[in-house]
Amino acid sequence: MQKSTAIANSNIAIIKYWGKRDERLILPTNNSISFTMDEQLSTTTTVEFDSALKQDEAILDGKIADEKEYERVSNFLNVVRARAKIKLFAKVVSNNTFPKAAGLASSASGFAALAAAASKAVGLDYSMKDISILARLGSGSATRSVYGGAVEWQKGSASDGNDSYAVQLSPASNWKHLRNIIAIVDAEKKKVSSRAGMAETVKTSKRFSSRLEAVGKRLEIVRSAIKDNNFESMADIIMEDSDDMHACMADTIPPIVYMDETSNKIKKAVRALNESEKIAAYTFDAGPNANIYTTNPNEVKSMLKEINGIKKIIECKIGEGIRFSEKHLFY
């Protein structure tokens, strides 16, 4: 069968996904909105289904996948095999341009690239919408990495998940003035995975239901700001939604704390920067690293230089969605 290679970039949400209504089908409790990042946060994946293989093979960043990674990849390939009605095993080789599980959402680019490469390799003629639905079954945030620019994952209401996919709200070309300055505070693998953490929040947080009510209004404000290409009018909402998600994490039993002292210093410094003019908005995922969306990257970078505990700074542009390549990772 044909070999197929796909590239997908990661995305960082500005209205967060934190909670599932169906854990098996990865159906979320609320819509979420993100920006897709540039090539600095991307995954390239080559897939080939091959009758000579006795089991799936997965090589991630040059190493044979560990047990957990292998299971996740292989379970995902089972979905692809079922859809294509084939039994062949596959070889998967995947390279990230950034550290895995550093709170930089590598599962987003990882499963988006895998969904695109595997569906093409198996001969399924999938649209971007189909790839978005398939990617969702690997990881929720991957649903959004299919498109570039600003993207909304519509939670849908169907029990089979067929209306739970992403749509592009605005292409990357409209956001040339926007950057995400990522401050790496800790590049270690996170202690509580997003998957386990959000399941606990849904089960035990009393605050979670009020989050779901508040998200509706935030989505409206952010959609309209995106339509008007107006970062300033959504900056406060972006920070509010991140704070709200982390408050729900803290309200979980037992509490989940991803942010550390350095993260909190960064939050404070961004608030101070915004006092004269709204130029920045922080958002934190399931880890202590800060994502600071900004229309003035130089000011944000000089602000970050004053804060101790930051290991690395990455300046990301708003990037494109999935693309296919003829440059395969193995021959």
Contact 172, 148 (CB under 8 A): yes
End-to-end CA distance of the chain: 13
Pick out residues in 123-162 that bind ligand DP6 (CB under 6 A).
139-141
Environment class of 310 (CB within 10 Å of its CB; exposed 0-12, middle 13-18, buried 19+): middle
Shortest Å distance, C-beta 226 to ligand DP6: 16
Q: Is 107 in the site for ligand DP6 (CB under 6 A)?
A: yes
Shortest Å distance, C-beta 215 to ligand DP6: 11
Q: Residue 32 and residue 45: Cα distance in Å, rounded? A: 25
User: Comparing C-alpha atoms, which of 274, 267, 178, 170 is closest to residue 224?
Assistant: 170
| CB closer to ligand DP6 out of 4 and 107 | 107
Q: Residue 70 and residue 72: Cα distance in Å, rounded? A: 5
User: And the tokens for 50?
Assistant: 């091959």
| CB closer to ligand DP6 out of 139 and 294 | 139
Q: What are phi and psi of 32, to 5 degrees?
A: -135, 160
**Residue range at the interface with ligand DP6 (CB under 6 A); choices 15-23, 79-87, 205-213, 297-305:** 15-23
Q: Is 190 in the site for ligand DP6 (CB under 6 A)?
A: no
Contact 43, 96 (CB under 8 A): yes
**Residue range at the interface with ligand DP6 (CB under 6 A); choices 14-22, 209-217, 274-282, 298-306:** 14-22
Shortest Å distance, C-beta 55 to ligand DP6: 24
Inter-helix orientation angle 106-121/67-84, to 10°: 40
Q: Is 244 in the site for ligand DP6 (CB under 6 A)?
A: no
Residue the block writes with tokens 């880890």:
287
Q: Is 260 helix (H, G, I), strand (E, B) or coil?
A: coil
Q: Is 44 in the site for ligand DP6 (CB under 6 A)?
A: no
Cross-strand bridge partners of residue 39? none
Shortest Å distance, C-beta 95 to ligand DP6: 19
Pick out residues in 195-234 that bind ligand DP6 (CB under 6 A).
195
Q: Is 164 in the site for ligand DP6 (CB under 6 A)?
A: no
In this chain, which of 26, 118, 225, 322 binds ligand DP6, going by CB under 6 A?
26
**Residue range at the interface with ligand DP6 (CB under 6 A); choices 12-20, 164-172, 232-240, 316-324:** 12-20
Q: Is 17 in the site for ligand DP6 (CB under 6 A)?
A: yes
Q: Kindly write out the interface string for residues 267-286 of this chain, putting x where it contacts ligand DP6 by CB under 6 A and - elsewhere.
A: ------------------xx
Q: Calculate the alpha carbon distances from 100 to 95, 104, 109, 136, 272 in Å.
A: 10, 8, 11, 19, 32
Which residues of this protein are in contact with ligand DP6, per CB under 6 A?
A: 13, 16-18, 26, 32, 105, 107, 139-141, 194-195, 285-286
